[in-house]
Amino acid sequence: MGLTIHYSIAAAKNWSPKTIRAKLEALRQCCLDLPVEQVSELQEFKGKDCEPGEEKDDPFRWAKIQAARSPESPWQPGTSFRQQPSRMLVFSVWPAQGCEEMNIGVSSFHRFVCPKRKEYPVQTWADEQCNKPGWSLAITHPRSYPGAARILKDFAKRWKLRRMTG
């Protein structure tokens, strides 16, 4: 049996990336003074490097797995999917033999959960990463996505939006 502590930290919105790096480095220095086995260097990952991948020997694989978040789907309330950060600054502390490492860091995420869509046939969209239609698909294929099309129609009606002629 063991003890697990879950925590979250957030950087102030007015902190620059330089300030965040300095604060994490100061925290890392404090960890170096503790009686722990090992403290890693502060590492920065961007883009695809934030994904855990299949490499089991990546020392930050667990940190990358933990950094993901699970936003709720706007099309199916109550369901969510995983989103990896677009950037993360992290270090790991290994307390002792038999312990799991403690990962401390700050992650940032893309503003939009689903990546910019390419032209996909409607039949294969379900196999893609987001697994839910975008507004553009709800407009062009309303029979395929009746729930999303209804939400969009209600939104347009509420805000008195109308279709532009083109």
Q: What is the pLDDT of residues 77-134, one digit of tens each?
A: 777 778 899 999 999 999 999 888 899 999 988 766 554 444 444 444 344 444 444 5
pLDDT for residue 154: 79
C-alpha closest to that of 103 among 86, 88, 123, 118: 88
pLDDT for residue 93: 94
Read off the pLDDT of residues 90-106 as tens digits, 9 standing for 90 and up. Answer: 999 999 998 888 999 99
pLDDT for residue 162: 67
Predicted confidence (pLDDT) at residue 31 exceeds the cutoff of 90: yes
pLDDT for residue 63: 93
CA distance 133 to 144: 9
